[in-house]
Chain A
Amino acid sequence: MSIPAPSSASAVDVRGVSRVFRTGKGQSVTALDDVSLTVAAGQFVSLIGPSGCGKSTLLRLIADLDTPTGGEIHVFGKTARQARLNQAYGIAFQSAGLLPWRTVAANIELPLHLHNVPRARRAERVRELIELVGLADFAASFPDQLSGGMQQRVAIARSLAESPGLLLMDEPFGALDEMTRERMQAELVRISAETGAAVVFVTHSIPEAVFLSDRVVVMSPRPGRIRAIVDVSLGEVRGELLREEAGFFAAVTEVREALHLDQAAPARGMDLR
Chain B
Amino acid sequence: MRATIRSNLRAVLPPVLLGLLSLAAWQALVVLADIQPYLLPAPTAIATQLGLVMPVLVPALIATGTNALLGLVAGSVIAIVGALIASRLWIVDELVTPVVAAIAVVPIVALAPVLTTMFGATSETPRRVIVAIVVFVPVFVNTLRGLRQVLPVHRDLMRAYNASNWQLSRTVTIPGALPYVFTGLNIASSLAVISAIVAEYFGGLQNGLGSRITSAAANSAYPRAWAYVFGAILLGVLFYATTLAIERAVSRRPGR
Contact = CB atoms under 8 A, between A and B. Distances in A.
A142 B153 CA distance: 18
Nearest to B256: A144
Contacts of B255: 142, 144-145
Nearest to B178: A101
Given A93-B153, A114-B167, A142 B254 contact: yes
B46 to A, nearest CB: 46
B253 A142 contact: yes
Interface in A83-124: 84-85, 87, 89, 91, 93, 95, 97, 99-101, 110-111, 113-115
Contacts of B154: 97, 99
Contacts of B167: 114
A101 B156 contact: no
A53 interface: no
Main SS class of interface, B? helix
Residue among B156, B161, B172 with the highest chain A CB neighbour number at 10 A: B161
A223 B178 CA distance: 42
A113 B170 CA distance: 12
A254 B253 CA distance: 49
B162 A101 contact: no
Interface of A: 60, 63-65, 84-85, 87, 89, 91, 93, 95, 97, 99-101, 110-111, 113-115, 142, 144-145
Given A100-B253, A101-B175, 20 more contacts: A60-B156, A63-B160, A65-B156, A65-B159, A65-B160, A87-B161, A89-B160, A91-B160, A97-B154, A97-B156, A99-B154, A99-B171, A99-B172, A101-B178, A101-B251, A110-B161, A111-B161, A114-B171, A142-B253, A142-B255
Nearest to B155: A65
Interface in B136-181: 151, 153-154, 156-163, 167, 171-172, 175-176, 178
A113 B167 CA distance: 10
B175 A99 contact: yes
B156 A110 contact: no
A17 to B, nearest CB: 19
B163 A114 contact: yes
A115 B172 CA distance: 15
B176 A101 contact: yes
23 contacts: A60-B156, A65-B156, A65-B160, A84-B159, A84-B160, A84-B162, A89-B160, A91-B157, A91-B160, A95-B153, A97-B154, A97-B157, A99-B154, A99-B175, A101-B175, A101-B178, A110-B171, A114-B158, A114-B163, A114-B167, A114-B171, A142-B253, A142-B254
Contacts of A93: 153, 156-157
A85 B175 CA distance: 25
A85 B115 CA distance: 54
Contacts of A111: 161
B215 to A, nearest CB: 49
A162 to B, nearest CB: 9
A53 B249 CA distance: 47
Contacts of A91: 157, 160
Nearest to A155: B157
Contacts of B157: 91, 93, 97
Contacts of A84: 159-160, 162
B219 to A, nearest CB: 54
Nearest to B163: A114
A254 B151 CA distance: 39
A71 to B, nearest CB: 21
A170 B162 CA distance: 19
A114 B171 CA distance: 9
A115 B176 CA distance: 21
Contacts of A100: 253
B253 A97 contact: no
A65 B157 CA distance: 9
Given A114-B171, A144-B255, A97 B151 contact: yes
Contacts of A145: 254-255
Contacts of B162: 84-85, 87
Contacts of A142: 253-255
Interface string B90-105: 0000000000000000
Nearest to B167: A114
A145 B254 CA distance: 9
Contacts of B161: 87, 110-111, 114-115
A111 B171 CA distance: 11
